[in-house]
Amino acid sequence: MVPRVRRRPLLAALGTVAVAGCNTTTSSDARFVAPRAALIDDELALEVQDLPGSREVEITARTTVSFDDESRTWSASATFLSSSEGAVSIHEDPPVEGDYSGVDPMGLFWAMTPEHADEAFFPPTRHEVTLTAAIDGETVARTTIDRRLAVAGVDEQPLEGDLVGTLWTPPGEGSPPGVLLLHGSGGSEMTSTARLLSSHGFVVVSLQYFGEPDVLPDVLSAVPVEYVQRAIDRLLDHPRVTGPGVGVWGVSKGAELALVLGSRDERIETVVAVSPSSLVWEGFDAGGYPTGTSSWAHEGEPVPYLPYPDYDAVPESADPFDRPRSFYEYSQLQAAPEQVAAATIPVERIDGDVLLFSGTDDRLWHSTSMGEQVRNRLQARDHPHRSDHRAVEGAGHFFQLPFLPTFGTSGFAGYPLGGTPEANARASREHWPVATDWLANLEDGFDAESPPVDPDVEPGTDADEGREPRSAGFVAAVLLTGTVVLGAVLYALPRWAGWIDAGSERIPEDDRAIESEVTRVDAVRYLQGALGHAIGSTLFLGLAGMLWLVGYEQLGYVSVAVAFLVSANGLSIWAWDRLQSYFAARTPEREATDDRRTLTANPLEADSWIELKAGAVMTGVFVALLVAGRFALQMFGPRLFAFLCVGCLALGNLVALATADAASTH
């Protein structure tokens, strides 16, 4: 926490004495001038107006967020001196006392600390901050700001195939730049950064390249470079990304990977490397121990790397767990020159701009000196593109999103990261606009400014919630039309085909005739059921197409799933009836009675009765589909999953129709 600093100017103090007795009571008309909603990286011009003049006003910011299934309240406060006009301009006035010092428009936000906790981390997530202004302990004004990661209309889609991650598309039209995000050794995709970047107009892929699920390497070792290149393919395949290149933003080990990738793929036109490495290092397992091979692999071979020394042989001052920065420095110094040369990333091969950020107090590894090595190598080899290294004095390894609390960023979960809350807040604030500006240059005329945040429109967390609906009436009309058409066809088709009268003929008395008639009715029933389910599933597919066409993709996937279930329903009815016929131990008299009952009943009613009896089978099929669908959706992505559903649906309908046709000819 920043020490509370008392900095009350003499003239301001004299001014307070001069008006004492003239305006000593609090004003009930005081109010905040603040937006109801804003993006997290918006620098806010906050004011409190209609206050008593020349009074000390304590302003407190408070929010409650959850992290690791634990809810915590965070807060910060600062005391300001109101002007003679009765106003406090938080974005222009320094506090006379508080959790931060100096003029800082967002000091109350980054300086928040958790209540009743010595160690905590503020997650980069949407949250509401309540601001209160108090005079002599009495609250005179209050407001709440909804701080968001995304604007309305940001579209989120899981990547398809063996790629694990998310594709983010901004609202609107045009040709925005494509950006690939690469996380660090924590192993989690950078979804928060992706949401915010997409809100500024970028098409973003946030990729996960190791960890869960099983399609990825378990640990950060021998990660295929080709896997990451397929993510670039996906970006360039996006209809709004015109290319020819993309930007790559990596942090920590992801920065190492970004530089390796840029040196091997000419489609990368901008590399943003935060807390970078100039070397390729040996991979490590979940416990932090070396794996004996490179962190990265290309065409099945390890990318040349610098191995770690024997952990037991390093001095205590370079302990890999307690002093990781010293350990990395020791590893580089102890290595043979030819090893260092082989492991050095050939950054001069990057066919684009290179922007590096580091903190001089990085205690995880020596990112500032390695960043300088990258910059010096680029300059020494006459790299024709822009390059810059910005080392933030006193900052550590972790660069948070702008204006989020930096308590806990100096070290977390036993790992020293370095920096102070103030320095880390400065690094977070300074690196963000520079990085987005460099990435914006990928596309001529592109403006990385985000659209205004409408507090009355919820930002989307998936494909549908982020869209502004066409209208509630439009959606209702589409759904109602689909339902009416489906019902009308299913009602009319059997009557048009003459199936409605199939059971109204004379009931024969002869047992053999009864058996023949029952077979005929069964065939009609099977044909009716098969065609009915085929038509129903096809109509739901049509509804899915309409929903996709108008932009409601998630509802479209639901319609595909319903179509699949309708088809499976037809198959399960057939399966239940066959099982019932096979296992039922009935007497001929009972069979004859049942046969007569079947003949006297309408085939449509008989089909409905069999559907009821098929409930158990349907439940099993539904559960199996849910389990299989969950893994298929995760593995293949929603679009490929939808195509698989359509394929299974078509196959199921063909089987049902073939069965019905065989029964009718029999």
DSSP string for residues in 62-74: EEEEEETTEEEEE
Q: Measuring CA to CA, which residue among 537, 532, 486 is closest to residue 650?
A: 537
Q: Is the pLDDT of residue 592 over 50?
A: no
Q: Measuring CA to CA, which residue among 189, 191, 50, 39 is closest to residue 109?
A: 39
CB 96 within 8 A of CB 7: yes
pLDDT of residue 137: 94
The mean pLDDT of 495-500, rounded to a whole number, is 48
Distance, CA of 643 to CA of 54 (rounded, Å): 69
Give the amino acid at 181: L
For 34, 47, 49, 418, 568, the CA distances from 142, given in Å and listed in that order, are 10, 12, 12, 36, 57
**For the segment 205-232, what is each residue's pLDDT rounded down to a tens digit?**
999 999 987 889 999 999 999 999 999 9
- Comparing 337 with 9, the larger pLDDT belongs to 337
Q: Is the pLDDT of residue 469 over 50?
A: no
CB 231 within 8 A of CB 159: yes
CB 194 within 8 A of CB 202: no
3-class SS of residue 180: strand
**For the segment 150-206, what is each residue's pLDDT rounded down to a tens digit?**
999 999 999 998 999 999 999 988 889 999 999 999 889 999 999 999 999 999 999
CB 515 within 8 A of CB 509: no
Give the model's confidence band at 544: pLDDT under 50 very low, under 70 low, under 90 confident, else very high: low
Q: Is the pLDDT of residue 11 over 50?
A: no
pLDDT of residue 655: 53
Handedness of CA 237, 238, 244, 247 (dihedral sign): negative
CB 423 within 8 A of CB 393: yes
Q: What percent of the chain has pLDDT over 70?
A: 64
The mean pLDDT of 539-564, rounded to a whole number, is 63
Give the model's confidence band at 130: pLDDT under 50 very low, under 70 low, under 90 confident, else very high: very high
3-class SS of residue 663: helix
Distance, CA of 162 to CA of 225 (rounded, Å): 14
Q: How many helices (H) and strands (E) does the chain have?
A: 15, 25
Distance, CA of 490 to CA of 488 (rounded, Å): 6
Tokens of 40: 């997290």
pLDDT of residue 312: 87
The mean pLDDT of 376-386, rounded to a whole number, is 97
Q: Which of 221-225, 346-350, 393-397, 607-611 is the least confident region?
A: 607-611
β strands within 29-135, DSSP E: 31-33, 37-39, 47-49, 56-67, 70-81, 88-89, 97-98, 113-114, 127-135
For 288, 339, 348, 452, the CA distances from 311, given in Å and listed in that order, are 11, 18, 33, 53
Residue 296 burial class via C-beta count within 10 angstroms: exposed 0-12, middle 13-18, buried 19 and up: buried
CB 90 within 8 A of CB 109: no
What mean pLDDT is reported for the chain?
78
Q: What percent of the chain has pLDDT over 90?
A: 53
Residue 271 burial class via C-beta count within 10 angstroms: exposed 0-12, middle 13-18, buried 19 and up: buried
**Which range scores top for mean pLDDT: 206-215, 267-276, 310-319, 484-493?**
267-276
pLDDT of residue 71: 83
**For the segment 448-464, what is each residue's pLDDT rounded down to a tens digit?**
777 777 776 766 543 33
Domain coordinates in residue numbering, the chain: 10-148, 155-306+345-440, 472-665
Distance, CA of 168 to CA of 160 (rounded, Å): 13
CATH architecture of 10-148: Sandwich (2.60)
Q: Measuring CA to CA, which residue among 529, 537, 512 is closest to residue 603?
A: 529
Q: Measuring CA to CA, which residue among 651, 476, 491 is closest to residue 571?
A: 651
Q: Is the pLDDT of residue 478 over 70?
A: no
pLDDT of residue 536: 64
Q: Name the helix (H) or strand (E) containing 530.
A: helix 511-549
Distance, CA of 339 to CA of 279 (rounded, Å): 10
pLDDT of residue 366: 97
pLDDT of residue 464: 32
**Which range scores top for mean pLDDT: 11-20, 137-146, 602-611?**
137-146
Distance, CA of 303 to CA of 261 (rounded, Å): 11
Distance, CA of 169 to CA of 192 (rounded, Å): 14
CB 642 within 8 A of CB 545: no
The mean pLDDT of 367-376, rounded to a whole number, is 98
Distance, CA of 348 to CA of 617 (rounded, Å): 64
Residue with tokens 């299913």: 490
Tokens of 57: 């006003």
pLDDT of residue 543: 67
Residue with tokens 């046969």: 595
Angle (CA) 264-257-235 rounded to 5° is: 70
**For the segment 504-536, what is each residue's pLDDT rounded down to a tens digit?**
444 444 544 545 555 555 555 555 565 566 666
The mean pLDDT of 45-50, rounded to a whole number, is 96
Q: Which of 145-159, 285-299, 466-480, 624-638 is the least confident region?
A: 466-480
pLDDT of residue 26: 41
pLDDT of residue 429: 97
Handedness of CA 573, 576, 579, 585 (dihedral sign): negative
Give the amino acid at 207: L
Asked whether the bond before 244 is cis by omega within 30 degrees of 0, the reply is: yes
Q: Name the helix (H) or strand (E) containing 146.
A: strand 138-148
Give the amino acid at 192: S
β strands within 402-523, DSSP E: 411-412, 415-416
Give the model's confidence band at 611: pLDDT under 50 very low, under 70 low, under 90 confident, else very high: very low
3-class SS of residue 252: coil
Give the model's confidence band at 378: pLDDT under 50 very low, under 70 low, under 90 confident, else very high: very high
pLDDT of residue 453: 76
Q: Does the predicted TM-score (pTM) go above 0.75?
A: no
pLDDT of residue 22: 33
The mean pLDDT of 595-613, rounded to a whole number, is 46
Fold of 155-306+345-440: Rossmann fold (3.40.50)
**For the segment 16-40, what is each residue's pLDDT rounded down to a tens digit?**
233 333 333 344 689 999 999 999 9
Q: How many CB atoms lie within 10 A of CB 623?
A: 10
pLDDT of residue 524: 55
- Comparing 241 with 564, the larger pLDDT belongs to 241
The mean pLDDT of 462-483, rounded to a whole number, is 45
pLDDT of residue 264: 97
